[in-house]
Copies of this chain bind each other. A is one copy, B any other.
Amino acid sequence: MSLRGLPPADIFDKALGGERRALGRLITFVERDAAEAETVAELAHERAGNAHVIGITGAPGSGKSTLTGQLVKLLGEAGKRAAVLAVDPSSPLTGGAILGDRVRMEDVASPDTFIRSMATRGHQGGLSLAVPGVVRLLDATGYDPIVIETVGVGQVEVDIAGTADTTVVVATPGMGDSVQANKAGLLELADLFVVNKADRPGAKDVRRDLDLMLDLSHVSGQDQRTGMRPEIIMTTALSGEGAPEMWDAIERHRTAITANGQLEARRVNRDIDEVRNRLMADLESRVDLMLAGQSLAGVAEVLDAVAARSLSPTAAATQLAARIKDL
Cβ proximity bits A278-302 to B, threshold 8 Å, 1 near / 0 not:
1110111001100100000000000
This protein's copies in its complex:
2
The residue of chain B having its C-beta at the shortest distance from the C-beta of A175 within the complex is B176
- A residues 141-177 in Cβ contact with B at 8 Å: 151, 153-155, 175-177
The residue of chain B having its C-beta at the shortest distance from the C-beta of A37 within the complex is B314
The residue of chain B having its C-beta at the shortest distance from the C-beta of A327 within the complex is B325
Contact A312 B41 (CB under 8 A): yes
Cβ proximity bits A20-48 to B, threshold 8 Å, 1 near / 0 not:
00000000000000000110011011101
- Flag the segment in A65-73, A208-216, A267-275 that touches B: A267-275
Min C-beta distance of A325 to chain B, whole Å? 4
Contact A41 B315 (CB under 8 A): yes
- Flag the segment in A8-16, A227-235, A248-256, A316-324 that touches B: A316-324
- Flag the segment in A98-106, A110-118, A179-187 that touches B: A179-187
B residues within 8 A CB of A327? 325
Interface membership of A127, Cβ < 8 A: no
Interface membership of A3, Cβ < 8 A: no
Interface membership of A119, Cβ < 8 A: no
Chain A contact residue count (CB 8 A cutoff): 63
- Flag the segment in A79-87, A239-247, A303-311 that touches B: A303-311
The residue of chain B having its C-beta at the shortest distance from the C-beta of A90 within the complex is B181
Contact A278 B155 (CB under 8 A): no
Q: How far is the CA of A89 from the CA of B278 in the complex (A)?
A: 32
Min C-beta distance of A98 to chain B, whole Å? 17
Cβ proximity bits A180-221 to B, threshold 8 Å, 1 near / 0 not:
111000000000000000000000000000000000000000
Q: How far is the CA of A321 from the CA of B282 in the complex (A)?
A: 7
Q: How far is the CA of A316 from the CA of B60 in the complex (A)?
A: 36
Min C-beta distance of A82 to chain B, whole Å? 23
Which 3 residue pairs spanning A and B have beta carbons closest together? A278-B317, A325-B325, A45-B312
Give 23 CB contacts A-B under 8 Å: A38-B315, A41-B315, A42-B312, A42-B314, A45-B311, A45-B313, A45-B314, A46-B309, A59-B176, A59-B177, A59-B178, A60-B180, A61-B178, A136-B312, A153-B181, A272-B303, A274-B313, A275-B291, A275-B306, A279-B321, A280-B287, A324-B324, A325-B327
15 additional A-B residue pairs with CB within 8 Å, beyond A49-B309, A175-B176, A272-B291: A41-B312, A42-B312, A45-B311, A45-B313, A46-B312, A132-B313, A153-B182, A272-B306, A275-B291, A275-B303, A275-B306, A275-B316, A275-B317, A276-B287, A283-B321
Which residues of A pack against B, CB within 8 Å?
37-38, 41-42, 44-46, 48-49, 59-61, 89-90, 132-133, 136, 151, 153-155, 175-182, 268, 271-272, 274-276, 278-280, 282-284, 287-288, 291, 303, 306-307, 309-318, 320-321, 324-327
